Structure formats: C-alpha cells, structure tokens
Structure 1
Amino acid sequence: MVRRLFVPVALAGMLVLSAFALAPIYNGTLLPVLMAAAAAGSVLVGTGVRRLPAWTAAPASVLGLAVLTFVAVRVSAAAGQVPGSVPDIAREALRNSIPRLLTALIPIEPQPDTVVLPVIATWLAGLAATELGVRYGRVLLSYLPPTLLFGGALYLVGPDTTAARATTWVPLAYAAFAALGLIASGREPQPGELTADQRRTIRLRVGAGAAAGLAIIVVLSQFLGPAVAEQGSSTPVDPRNYVTPPQLDSLDENPLVRLSGWNLNKDQHLFDAVVTPEAQPLIRLAVLTDYDGVTWRIDSVYRNAGRVLGRPEGTGPEVTQRITIDELDGRLLPGVATPQRVDGVRVAFDAETGTIAYAEPLHKGLTYTVTSRRDPRPDDNALFVAEVPAPEEAGDLVALPGKVPDSISQLSSHLGEGVSNPYQRAFAIQQWLEEHYRLVADAPSGHAYPNVEYFLFGPKQAGGQKGTSEQFTAAFAVLARLAGLPTRVVVGFQTRKDDPAVRGGDAIAWPEILFKGVGWVAFDPLPKSDTVQRPVEDDFKPKAPPSPPPPQSVPPVSVSASPPASRSGSAQAAAPPAGSGTATLVAAASSAAVVVLVLAFFASVPLVHRARRRRRLEQGPPAQRIDAAWSEVLAGLRLAGRPAPAHLTAREVAQYASTAAIRHAHAGAPRLRSAVPPVDDLAALVNAVAFAGPTLAATSDSAAGSRGASAVSEPQARLAADQAVAYVAALRAQRPWWRRLLWTFDPRPLRWHRRR
C-alpha cells in the first residue's frame, strides 16, 4: 500500500515543479499556489476513483476542475482589482487567456486571464497522468502529461535569464520524483515462481538489453552530443514574438506635433495630477526614438501588464501620482518616470522607454495611480568621464536618414571643435540653443530637416530663430546625432507645486542622451528667463554651397551679305597645312610622356618615403635616429596643417602635439575615444641628444657626464622611433580621407628632411 502511494506522490510532485518553473515570470506567489492546488486536486480525485469504473473519472475530475476554476477566477480578480461578476470575468478570461498571456509584461500580474490557462492545463495533465499511472499501472507512460506541462512552462518562460537562475534546482527535483515513481512501481518476482534456467535466461536478456541500451546511448552522444551542447549557450525562443502586441492609434504615433496646438490653447485642461511627496517633476507622456528626416515617431513595443510594471529597479525616492483625465485624448497615459506600479486601470507597458498605454481611448474622469521611482540626475563629474555606445551598438538612436542640410552639418562640426568627451559635446549644443534662439508659443509645428534648418538660420523678421520646445528639442536631437550621441525625444508636461491642474501651456518636449553605465540623461536646451539672445550671425555663419558654373556663352551666328565663296576656294581654305599631322603626333607623344613621368614620380613618392624612414629610424647611431624620429613628428604636424611654432622647446612641442590633432579632428572622420599617443619621452630624448642631461646620461652606455650621441642608448633610440611612428599614424588617421590621400603622395617631406 505504501509503495502504491509513491506513484501519486511522484506525479503530484512533477506537476507542482511545473508551477515552480513558471513562477519566476509571475509577480507574487498566487500562481504557484493555484497550480499546486490543481496538481494535488487532480491527482487526489483520480486516485480516489481508481476502483470505480473508468467512465466515472472524467465527470468527477471535471466537477473538481470547475470548482477550482471558480476559486482561481475569484481570488485572482480580487488580487488584481478586476471589477465585474465572476461569470463575466471567467468568460472574458477564457476567451483572451492565450493572447493576454503571450503579450503580458514580465513579471506577469496574476489576474484571471493570466491564471486560468495554467490552472486548467495543470489539472488536465494531472487527470491524464493519474489514469495512466494509478489506474492502469503504466507509470513510465504516465510521465508524458507532466513532462509536456513542464516543457510548456519552460517554453513560456523563454529567454528570461532571471527565471532561469531562480529555477536551476527544478529539473533535478523533477528527475528525482520521476525516479521515485519508477522505483516504487518496480516488482520483484516471488521466490519459487521461476526456475534456475528461467532466471538465467532473464538475466541474460536483461544484460543484453542493458548492453544494447548503453551502446545506443554512446552512439547518440557522439552524434548528437555536440549539437545538444551548443544549445546550452543559445538564446531560447521567445513565444511572445509570435503574437502582435497592443498597437497605438495614429494620434499617438507622433505626439510631438501636438505641442503647438497645446501651447496655443494654453488654458485647455488636460488632466489633474496630485503628486506625493509634493514636488515639481516632469510627467512623461511619450518617448520618440525613430526619426526619418520628416517626423519623430514612437518605436515602442507595449506589453499587457497588471499593476506591477517590470521588476523593481533604481534606488531613487518613490513618487506617487493620482491622475484624473479631463480633455487629454489618445491612448497614452501620463506618468513620472520610471513607473513601477499602476493601480485602477489595465494598461500596456513598454519597459524600454518606461511609457504607459491604456487598453482603450482615454475618457474624461478616468482615474488611476502611478507609483514611480525617480532616480536623481547623475553628478556632472560622472557624466564628464562617461562614454556613449558606439554607433554599431546605438543603431537607430544615432541614425539620420536622408540628406542632412549642409548648414546643420557645419554647425555641428563648429560646436564639436575643441570638445573631447560626449558630455561636453551635448552641453555645447544645449548652450548654443539656449543662448541664440527665442522660445515662443505661436510658432508653427514642424520638425523635418527644412523646419530645423529654418529655425536655426532663418531670418528673424520672417519667423526664423524662434520656436516652441518642439523646434528646440528637434534641433538638439539632430545636432547631437550628427555628433555621434545616441539621442531620443521625450514629450511630457510640467507640473506646479500648488496647482494639480495640467493645461495645454504645460506641454513640453526635451531631449535625452544615453551614456554608458549611467543611462538616459535629460538636457534642457530652452532659454532661461534671464538669457539675452545673441545673434547667430555673430558666432557662426554657414558657408554657402558652391554655385554651379555659368553656362558658356555661344557666339551669335553672323549672317553675311556677301556672295558665298566658290566650292573650290573653300576646299583650298580648309586644307590642312603641310606637316600638321606629324606635329600633332609629336605633341600627343610628348604629353603622354609627361603624364607618365608625373604619375611615376608620385607613385614612387610613398616607396621613397618608406625606404628613407626605415633607413633613418633603424640605421646609424642612436642620437642620429632620435633626431630622425623627432623630424618625423615635426613633418607629420606640418602635413596635418598644424606645424609647430619655431619658438617652442621640445617639451612644449610635445604638449602642443598632444592637443593639436584632437582640436582639429574632421567632423566626418571617426572620433577617437582617446588622444593620440604622447611623444613626451621622445622630447626628453631629443633634449638628451642636444644637452646630455644627467638623468638620461646616467642610463646610457657611456660614462656619466658625456654629451651628444653618448647620452642615449640603443633601446632609447628604438623607443623614440616607435613613439614617432605611432604618433604620426594616429595623427594621419584623424584626417579626412582626401587629406590622407594627399599625405601619401606629398613629396615635400623629402625636401624637409634633406634641409634639416
């Protein structure tokens, strides 16, 4: 009797472990409790009716399933604050359980539509397993329904790494329960039932079967083992990718264009927001990351969510907002970033941008509560050393499709001169916008390239150089993306401390930039109240595009009144002079020879450069090679268009060389994340060669106090050559492509080295 009880216990344990496998992607413990109740109830009902006719198992089990489903719907509806009667909620949950479950945000809120399907599946798997294993004694076959349920739970979890780490013990426990059921169901033959020959035959068959099974396992491990092992590092399939998430209305795709209308109707009552604790945070409505040169659009994937919006993140203070909608339309719900919980409504949530959407269009009187955790702005010192993701990592966050106007590109290059780190570039753009442009409420809407260009450079008397926060933010975003900064646009509202009403005049947009290790940081390009607008033309004036050359003038056709010449006379006049063919041939051959000689000369210049540099840097006394390395650095600065002033000492030249390349890096060239290699050691060696300083002289091969060539050693000469080659290569890499091409074929360094 005890051994018979181990089989139901094993089946119930395997079913409960499926609940543990699914539990990490749910919020709280309600789902595993309900699934455990379904597992225990189905196995108990099946075990209790095992002595009754087989047809009684299904009705009894269905009755138990109906009772448990009613309890699960009622309990989950109360926990999730879902209004309505239990039958209506149950019908709606059964109808939408699969799409709601696959589009729900992780961690999933246990509500009727996300709980009913796992509970029913667990009960049915328990019913089938109990009938096979307890009634008919097919224990191994009875493991199939729990295994399918366990596999379905793992498939639903998908690539969620947090859930995988939390349930590493579950497969081992599952195998232990399976082994327990098989051991308990094994039967030993009674003594005397078999003869010695029969026992010998059985042992022989069991041994042969074991050997054959072992051989099959070894063969399969050799063929399938590598493929199975490779799956250990692969990402599991996410079933949520096969279901279309909730979509926004066209009204919400680009809320940036609504700013002008809201600012014009500044007294329009959009909603009320009671913020606790009392503060003046910005309330976020939408985040726009996709820009096609004409419109900024939302590129968010909204997942159905319950009250909990993702796993808790951040360490900032909690901010609670009680929001009541008035005249705000669309489906986007306003809330302070970053929301952690929403009570009162069913919402969809985009975890990437932290924005909320309502399942239906907003209506007057809709009230809900948002609990957010607002992280403080990072310290400026941390931002000063922070980097931004590389362009290949940032993707669409730095994309600018189409042709950006030349004037905007020139302004971006102008603002990036002399700026070394990303935060300085962003701050330079913000400072430029807030000092040179005026904020107005009646500017027309538009943020395409022509609108941004007119805002930046249009004449003031015709409406240029002024706009709403739409134009300021769009201009900042375009200039920042040109500078290689991952940027997005945020639309939201300002709040007031003593007035909960949020009106049209409170609508605002601002840009945000992504920094590594810090996250998204907001910038404010709007002019301050005490800012005096400076004329743009005084600080920057874009170069006019080159005008096309004028068409060549065609001489007018002259009409002569004299009679036409005779045919023979015209033929004589048109006849070429004698010897003209030979002269033409000689001229063509001479021109071709000159072209060949010029091309050969310029083609030989890189070879001569390379051979001369190798000979100068690798052959001769150490002092002479150090002097040659220094001349390579000086020649590189001249080729880069930044020759070192003649009055500077060697150390001052080294300091000048470390900053000249960065300050004049071309805007189209790839930006380096660090400065060019230093040449400080080379400058010290040059001084040693010239003056035989005591420190270096003591480390040389000669006696202390020697001068000139004896003040340096062979390793120091190699160090000087390596520094010079590395510096010139890095300096050349920061030039635009056309200057690098000229650098390669420029013959002037041959004359400079000879003169030196």
Structure 2
Amino acid sequence: MTRTALGGRLLAADVVLVVLLMAVATSPFADAYGGWRWLAAVVVGTLTGLGVALLARHLGWGAWPAVLLLLGCHLLLGPALAVPDLALAGIAPDVDSVRALVTGLVSAWRDSLTLLTPLGSTGTVLMVPWVLSLIAGLAAGAFLWRSRRPGGAAIVVLAAFAVAAAFGDRVTGLTITRGLVLATGLLVWTRWRETRDVRVSWTRRIGMTAAVIAVAGGLAGGMSAALAGDTRTVLRDHVDPPFDPMDYPSPLARYRAYYDERALGEKTMFTTTGLSTGDRIRIATMDTFDGIVWNVAGGPGAPTQSGTFGRLSAQPDEAGEQDVTITIEDYSGPWVPTVGETLGVVALRDGRADGSTQSRVLYNDATGTMAQLGGTVRGTTYELRSLRPEVPASLEALAAASGVMPQAPADIPVLTKKVQEWLAEAGSPGGGAAASALADAFRKGYYSDGKEGEATSPSGHGAKRVTDLVGDDQMIGNDEQYASAMGVAAQQQGLPARVVIGFVVPDSTGVVKGADVHAWVEVHLEDAGWVSFVPTPDKDRTPQQQQEDPEPEPQPNVLQPPVIPTEPDDLDDKAPQGAGDGTPAPPPIPIGDVLTYLAVAGGAVLLTSPLWALLVVKRSRRRRRRRAADPVARMSGGWREIADRARDLGIRLPHSNTRQESGSLLDARVPGSGVLLLAGRADHHVFGPTAPTDEEARAYWDDVDTALKRLRKSAPWWRRPLAVLSPASVPWRQTLRRAGPTVGAAIGFLPRRALAAIRGLLGKATATTSKKVNR
C-alpha cells in the first residue's frame, strides 16, 4: 500500500466531519445517559482514535502497535472521561480508576443495559460511548488515511449509530431528524472526498442531494409517524430487569436467624451514628402476602401502590432532617438499612466515596426500602439524609388513606372471625382506631421465641402458622407471627397496611446486633402518612406453664361392701371345661385367622410396594441430604432437592446442565421462585475458597423449602399429587447398582440345588427364545 500525501485542508475536513458525524450517530446515548458527559466522551474518544491512526500512519506502524497505543490512551484519558467519579480529583488516574477501566471493558456493557435510565456518569457506564468512540475513531482514520477505500469510514459511523441505538432508551425523540442529518452528512462527505479533484459546481450538487434526501426522508418520516410513535426496540428490552424483589427470599423468613445466638444473635450487624436509643432501622417493607410468606414488591408487574426501585436522586434540604451513618459489619443481603424517609445517600469505602457501589444503590420511594445490587459488603458505610415525620398524638380520629390499598391477601377464615369479634367488642371502629384496636388485641397474647425452656412457638408466618396463632386458646409467638397476623388482618379489613422488618437501636453506642431484630406493621392514615403499630406483646409477658399432673379434686369417701370369701367348692365349679377330663382347652387367639390377616396385609404391602418404596426412597434421600455431616454436601444436596422436585413436577432438566443453567431454566418457567439465586449461592459455597458454616447451610435449606413451595404452587392442581408419586427424580440405575450387593448376598444364602434349578430354568427359557427368533 502506497501512502499518499495528506493536505492540511483535507485532513482538517476529515477530522471535523468525523467528529460531527460521530456526535450525530451516537446521539441515541442522550436518551439513556442524560447530561453532557456522554458527549464529551464521544468527542474526545473520536479525536483520540483519529490521532492514534494519524500517528501510526506517520510512523509506519502496523495494527498491533496502534492498538497498544490506543489502550495506553484509554488508561491515561479514561479516568476523566469514562469513570470521573472514581478518578483522582475527577481527572487524574489512580488505582481504583485504572482497575475500573480494565474490568469495565467487560462489565460496562452489561451494566449499561441492566441499570435503570438515566444512567448518568456513576460507575463504569460511560465506558460504552468512550470505548465505542475510541474504536470508531481509529477505524475511521485507518479507512481515510491508510486504505484505498476511504468510503469505509461511512460504514464505521453507521456501525457506531447502530450500537448507540441498540444501547439507547426505547423512548426517544427526533429519530427522523437524526437519520436525515446523518444520511445527508455521510453522502455529501463521501461524495466530496471521491471527487474532490474534479471541477464541479458543489453548490448545485449539495443542493440537489439535500433536496432528494429531504423528500425521501419526509415520506419515510410521515409513514413512520403514522405507523409508530417515538418508541423503538432496544437491547435493554430483551435483558432481565436489574432488580426484582421477588427473586429474593422473604426478609421476614430470616427473622429467627437474626436473634438465634447460634446464628447471628450475638454478632454485630452494623454500627450507626446519629441515632438514639429506641430508634427504628428499616431493612425491608413487605406489602405482598401470598399465603406462604410476606415479600417485597416493586419489581416488574408489581401493583402501582408498591412503587418501583430506581436511582435515588438527591432531594433538597428539608427542615428536621438528620444525618445518619450505617456501617455494614456481619449483616448481609440485598436490603440496605435506612431510617425514616431517605432524602439522599452516599456510599463510602475506606472513608472515600465509592462510585461503583453508589451506582448499584436503588430506592423505592413508595415503601422506603433501599436495595444494593449484588448485596451489601462488609465495611461499606452509607451516609443517609433522613427525615422522620412526626406521629400525631391521637390516631383514633384519623381515617385510612385512600388509593394506596395493596393487593388483597390470602383469606384466613379463623383470623377473619377472630378480628370481627375484636372489632365488634371495640365498637366497630375504622381507620386509626381500628388499627389501634387490632394492635391492642394482639398484645393480649403471649411472647415466646420457641427457645429451649420457653413455650412452644414454631417459626414461620404463613397462613398455617397464623391460623395456629389465633386458633389456640393462648396466642403464643414473636414479632414474626404477630406482625404477619396483624398485617393480614388489617388488609382484610380494608386498611392500607404493610409489614416491616428492621432493628431497634439498643443503646447509645449505636451497635446493633442480630438479637435487636424486630418486626412491626405500618398503616397509612390521612394527614399522618405511614404510622407504625407494634402488635407484639412485651417479652416479659410469657405464657403460664400448664401443670402437667394436676392433683385430682378430693372425692367424698364411699363405704364399700365387705368382701365375702368364696368356698373352695364354688371355685372348682368355675374351672374351665375340659381342664380336668383330658380335653384340650381352645387357644385364646385363633391362629388361623391371624395368619389369614397377615397374608392379606402382606399381599397389600407387596402390591403397593412401588408406591411406598418410592416415598421411602424420596424421604430418606431428603433426610440424608439435609443431615449430611459436611456443610458443603448439605448445600449441594439442597440444590439437588430443588432439581429433583422440579423433575417430579414435569419440568425437564437435563442431568448435564450446570446449576446456573438449570436455575435459569427454572426461573424462566416459574418467575419469582428464587431458584437462580439459590443456584449461585450453591456454586459460591461449593467452589468457593471457604467452606460454608452450619448456620449458612441451615439458612440455605430454609430458602430451599420456600422455593419448593413456590414451585409446587406454580404447578397445576392436578399435577401436585402426581408429583409426590412421580419416579422422574429417582436415579434407577444408581439405586439398582447400590442394591446389587444386597441382592447378591441374599442369593448367596440360597441352597446350591435351588441355585442350580434356577440356572436350568433360565437356560431353557433362553434356548426357547433363540429357537423362536431363528424361525
């Protein structure tokens, strides 16, 4: 390839036009990013790519030196343009920014599609326009100044336009205008470059070209406007939503793990500043009850009253707000602790703002729940600007707010009947008075965590556990049961209610441990907002232990008649017949009947053996998996239990699939089951550097039980009983292989003659079969 001389005017025209056309081609980024930083990344990135191409041409470099130089420019200029929130003083590179520039080459494309728009400039999302413009600038410069087909630069610009449109937002504007400007610019520029040495009237040529494009574009624009609006299909429409609360287990289901001393009871969840003793810290707000668990709504398809999770934009200062800091310690999970209404949040790591963590913080304005994509990390500090509204002194006169009623919960007849009795005794109040009456009625029960030495109180908060709570003579439970019961009762009575799980600051040190966990109910009242109600009795209100062997009431003495001695002759007359004349006495139990019954029972057991044997195999398999000595084996066994139950329900899972592949398949079939998260947790613990603890294995199995309930509930009603007796999950080959030695040992006890007879019969049967086949 021979190098031709580049004139200064041609070079300047190429640079200016490429930069302008790239700005137009990448304009769809404006809808997804907002602001101006994306444009700065495009302009500087295009100029950098063109500069590298021009320098490589001047020095005679090949492709690899040019790519390496471009990579160096990426690391040098990228901190200021692609990751400004991580750069030193927003400009200079440092360790964090350089690391983000390297890892962002892979993760930035995913983040730009999965995070909510507008993307802004946090994290590594700006690397998409930055890297795209770098590559496009280098490729366009190579076509313009180092090839015989400079028109290829137009293809590069069109490719950049396609990528920008794919990574843009589905709601956009000026689509026809962008297309016309880009098409006109590319046609005029490429035509001018090809015929720049020909004497023509450029005024007339440009005018005619623009007229033709305008007419064609006008017709196309009119048809496009008539057929569709300002929406289009983009890549983010075909990826999973970034955060769906239903993908995670119910926060309330983890209640007992917090106060259990063997799990998290004595561990420090987080440390706080700016809070006083008795202040409540919110973990999650749950307004959806499916009869099994309370869960957080706010994902795709959630009721409008539940709000949605999105980026928290800083709100203006308000009177009465306070600054609170919460530093994560042993607490883990997707839910970020908050206090009251959050007006702003800043994530810190090692005392510095952490843009990567900040970009993954989502907030639900309707419920006050904050989430962290990827889960919270030990050592992260959240600086919160919080506002706690004042609660009116009297709530009885306040009516329930309208228009914020969550979805009606599952009906619990026993609870409904009990609530109607309580409200009737209170005079059938409504609004705040009804909520107060319900809380007072529940507080008349008794408190028990179900620990050793306390009254029996099973865990759980589903419809069955709530029925047991209010159906017994004495209501016995803890926050988990009482909050769930009042939440369901309030919603059934038409009150906008939800259940909250969180912690209460125990003292002035601000150290919050797992044992400080609490759950309460919030009811939305007019002129007061969401008001907290505590339906749980005091911890010192324990049930009285029933006396197991009460002393019988004394009965009046009754004189008994005297015993008359019996004469010996009378005793001889009552001797059994045949006892003295040699006739044998009949046996007390008919042996023949007993043998008959045993034979009938044995036949019934034998005929039903395929059914009960299948149940025994499944039961023993589950028991073996759950009680394995190794926690890793327990975690792996929990996942195998999910896969086996799915096969019993008719979901085909190839045995060659990985956990992630099977989890993705199940999550697509049963959205909200949470199995994909369980697959990731199993892989993390099985292949991770450290072994899981017994507490983590126990919590994992609790989540497995919840996922199995959801899988079963998603199946048709007729399929559920069939799944119990389905042999799909039983590995028959392995079972028979294991049973082989046992069968062989049993055969070894047979006499030699019996074995010879069996072999002879088998030989005759084989010979007969061979003759029939030969015929």
TM-score (norm 1): 0.52
Instruction: Quote how far apart the aligned CAs of 1:66 are.
Output: 0.7
Instruction: Indicate yes or no: 2:111 matched with 1:100.
Output: yes
> How far apart are the structure 2 equivalents of 1:295 and 1:190?
73
> How far apart are the structure 1 equivalents of 2:31 and 2:223?
34
Instruction: Quote how far apart the aligned CAs of 1:526 are.
Output: 3.2
Q: 1:293 aligns with which of 286, 291, 294?
A: 291
Amino acid aligned to 1:340: V
Cα offsets for 1:268-299 (capped at 9, x unmatched)? 13334122366754222233344221222345
Q: 2:139 aligns with which of 116, 128, 137?
A: 128
Amino acid aligned to 1:368: T
Instruction: Indicate yes or no: 2:529 matched with 1:526.
Output: no
Match of 1:351 in 2: 363
Cα offsets for 1:307-349 (capped at 9, x unmatched)? x9532247552533142414x4556553445362222276554
**Contact 1:512–1:521 (CA under 8 A) maintained in structure 2:** yes
> Residues 240 and 179 of structure 1: is their aligned pair in 2 closer, same or farther, counting only changes over 3 Å?
closer
Q: 2:503 aligns with which of 493, 498, 515?
A: 493
Amino acid aligned to 2:347: V
Instruction: Quote how far apart the aligned CAs of 1:114 are.
Output: 3.4
> Residues 531 and 87 of structure 1: is their aligned pair in 2 closer, same or farther, counting only changes over 3 Å?
closer
Match of 1:334 in 2: 337
> How far apart are the structure 2 equivalents of 1:81 and 1:283?
33
Q: 2:43 aligns with which of 36, 40, 63?
A: 36
Secondary structure at 2:387's aligned position in 1? coil
Amino acid aligned to 1:257: A
**Contact 2:278–2:504 (CA under 8 A) maintained in structure 1:** yes
**Contact 1:41–1:64 (CA under 8 A) maintained in structure 2:** no
> Residues 74 and 215 of structure 1: is their aligned pair in 2 closer, same or farther, counting only changes over 3 Å?
closer
Secondary structure at 2:104's aligned position in 1? helix
> How far apart are the structure 1 equivalents of 2:372 and 2:69?
38
Q: 1:239 aligns with which of 236, 240, 246?
A: 236
Instruction: Indicate yes or no: 2:453 matched with 1:449.
Output: no
> How far apart are the structure 2 equivalents of 1:517 and 1:146?
57
Match of 1:146 in 2: 157
> Residues 419 and 408 of structure 1: is their aligned pair in 2 closer, same or farther, counting only changes over 3 Å?
closer
Match of 2:323 in 1: 319
Where do residues 211-290 of structure 1 align in structure 2 (5 Å cutoff)?
220=220, 223-227=223-227, 230-232=228-230, 234=231, 237=234, 239=236, 242-243=239-240, 245=242, 253-263=249-259, 265=261, 268-276=266-274, 281-290=279-288
> Residues 411 and 150 of structure 1: is their aligned pair in 2 closer, same or farther, counting only changes over 3 Å?
same
Instruction: Quote how far apart the aligned CAs of 1:507 are.
Output: 0.2
Q: Structure 2, unaligned stretches of length 5 or more?
A: 1-7, 89-93, 301-309, 451-456, 543-775
Match of 1:411 in 2: 419
Match of 1:375 in 2: 387
Instruction: Indicate yes or no: 2:480 matched with 1:470.
Output: yes
> How far apart are the structure 1 equivalents of 2:26 and 2:421?
58
> How far apart are the structure 1 equivalents of 2:515 and 2:336?
18
**Contact 2:252–2:501 (CA under 8 A) maintained in structure 1:** yes
Instruction: Quote how far apart the aligned CAs of 1:38 are.
Output: 1.0
Instruction: Indicate yes or no: 2:25 matched with 1:11.
Output: no
> How far apart are the structure 2 equivalents of 1:144 and 1:492?
56
Instruction: Quote how far apart the aligned CAs of 1:414 are.
Output: 6.8
> Residues 231 and 106 of structure 1: is their aligned pair in 2 closer, same or farther, counting only changes over 3 Å?
closer
> Residues 117 and 185 of structure 1: is their aligned pair in 2 closer, same or farther, counting only changes over 3 Å?
closer
Match of 2:636 in 1: none
> How far apart are the structure 2 equivalents of 1:340 and 1:85?
21
Secondary structure at 2:229's aligned position in 1? helix
Secondary structure at 1:523's aligned position in 2? strand
Match of 1:740 in 2: none
Instruction: Quote how far apart the aligned CAs of 1:456 are.
Output: 3.1
**Contact 2:447–2:538 (CA under 8 A) maintained in structure 1:** no
> How far apart are the structure 1 equivalents of 2:35 and 2:198?
58
> How far apart are the structure 2 equivalents of 1:193 and 1:102?
49
> How far apart are the structure 2 equivalents of 1:110 and 1:471?
44
> Residues 10 and 389 of structure 1: is their aligned pair in 2 closer, same or farther, counting only changes over 3 Å?
farther
**Contact 1:156–1:238 (CA under 8 A) maintained in structure 2:** yes
Cα offsets for 1:481-534 (capped at 9, x unmatched)? 21334543221111145122212331011233568999x72422336879999x
Secondary structure at 1:114's aligned position in 2? coil
**Contact 2:292–2:461 (CA under 8 A) maintained in structure 1:** yes
Instruction: Quote how far apart the aligned CAs of 1:244 are.
Output: 6.6
> How far apart are the structure 2 equivalents of 1:399 and 1:256?
19
> Which of structures 1 and 2 has the bigger CA Rg?
1
> Residues 63 and 235 of structure 1: is their aligned pair in 2 closer, same or farther, counting only changes over 3 Å?
closer
Q: Which moved more, 1:335-344 or 1:444-453?
A: 335-344
Where do residues 396-407 of structure 1 align in structure 2 (5 Å cutoff)?
397-401=406-410, 403-407=411-415
Match of 1:507 in 2: 517
> Residues 356 and 37 of structure 1: is their aligned pair in 2 closer, same or farther, counting only changes over 3 Å?
same
> How far apart are the structure 1 equivalents of 2:249 and 2:329?
20
Cα offsets for 1:179-201 (capped at 9, x unmatched)? 6676677769999979xxxx9xx
Cα offsets for 1:102-147 (capped at 9, x unmatched)? 3335554757753444322111222333445677798887444334
Instruction: Quote how far apart the aligned CAs of 1:15 are.
Output: 2.9
Secondary structure at 1:39's aligned position in 2? helix
Cα offsets for 1:555-584 (capped at 9, x unmatched)? xxxxxxxxxxxxxxxxxxxxxxxxxxxxxx
Instruction: Quote how far apart the aligned CAs of 1:39 are.
Output: 1.6
> Residues 313 and 68 of structure 1: is their aligned pair in 2 closer, same or farther, counting only changes over 3 Å?
same
**Contact 2:284–2:335 (CA under 8 A) maintained in structure 1:** yes
**Contact 1:42–1:126 (CA under 8 A) maintained in structure 2:** yes
> Residues 149 and 5 of structure 1: is their aligned pair in 2 closer, same or farther, counting only changes over 3 Å?
same
Match of 2:29 in 1: 22
Instruction: Indicate yes or no: 2:129 matched with 1:118.
Output: yes
Amino acid aligned to 1:259: Y
Instruction: Quote how far apart the aligned CAs of 1:170 are.
Output: 11
Match of 1:650 in 2: none
> Residues 517 and 2 of structure 1: is their aligned pair in 2 closer, same or farther, counting only changes over 3 Å?
farther
Match of 2:753 in 1: none
Instruction: Quote how far apart the aligned CAs of 1:449 are.
Output: 1.8
Q: Structure 1, unaligned stretches of length 5 or more?
A: 303-307, 534-756
**Contact 2:114–2:236 (CA under 8 A) maintained in structure 1:** no
Amino acid aligned to 1:12: V
**Contact 2:136–2:157 (CA under 8 A) maintained in structure 1:** yes
Secondary structure at 1:374's aligned position in 2? strand
**Contact 2:288–2:407 (CA under 8 A) maintained in structure 1:** no
Amino acid aligned to 2:419: L
Amino acid aligned to 1:501: V
**Contact 1:272–1:324 (CA under 8 A) maintained in structure 2:** yes
TM-score (norm 2): 0.51
